[in-house]
Amino acid sequence: MSDARALEGRRALVTGASRGIGKATAIALARAGASVAIGYSAHPDDAAAVVAALQADHKVSAVALGADLADPRAAARLVDQTVQALGGLDIVVNNAGIARDNLAMRLTDEDWDAVIAVDLTAAFHICRAALRPMLRQRFGRIVNVSSVSGVIGNAGQSNYSAAKAGLIGLTKSLAREVASRDITVNAVAPGFIETEMTTSLGDAVQRGAIAAIPKGRMGTADEVAAAIAFLVLPESGYITGHVLHVDGGLAA
């Protein structure tokens, strides 16, 4: 196992980090010693609170950076802002995502386009921008947050499932392109995780979801964050192009 400050000196960008899995990931990386840029598109007060906690509890540099990831220029600019704020970029976690669920026959073009833009296209733009400094320094760690929905599909989520499946394809292709430069690109595929998004579901929906999970419970944001942190640790440098399921056996 790595020492407690295994990421000392590393600079990380985590998108969608004001809440949920992104927040837990930012904390996990800071606990390991990394400086962290908190990317957010909403909830600026929450993002500021995460920054304050990282600085106070883990004594690392941290900054909150707002961006509308549906705008390709804003997504790329987020990388530049991270480099300027932290002095470089070593780790990227593409966690930001939205869901606009409906049966395919009822899904509007706008809801399809919005989910693909934020959940898939923005991750590509961030990866492309981040690879420039990573290739120059011959080091980088990228983790894309996919979903069990991108592995096995989910009724009523054709847009979300397509975007998350696309992230897996993006991950595997990039991994092959940049492995020789000591840049790894991996993905995690969470299942049902206790976040603001899932707790807003009705009790009946939650009970039905839990009944389908072999572990018999939802996962936690901290459990997903631990998997992400593992993939960027020094001893994980030979893992690339991998999709790590954090789903309680849902896709087994």
Q: Which residues are designated catalytic?
A: 160
Q: In a 3-state reduction of DSSP, which class is residue 30?
A: helix
By residue count, the chain amounts to: 252
Query: Burial of 233 by CB count in 10 Å (0-12 exposed, 13-18 middle, 19+ buried)?
Result: middle
Q: Which residues lie closer than 8 Å to 129 by C-beta, 6 or more apart?
A: 75, 76, 78, 79, 80
Q: Read out DSSP for 126-150?
A: HHHHHHHHHHHHT-EEEEEE--THH
The 3-class SS string of 49-113 reads: HHHHHHHHHHCCCEEEEECCCCCHHHHHHHHHHHHHHHCCCCEEEECCCCCCCECHHHCCHHHHH
CA distance 245 to 10: 25
CA distance 72 to 151: 26
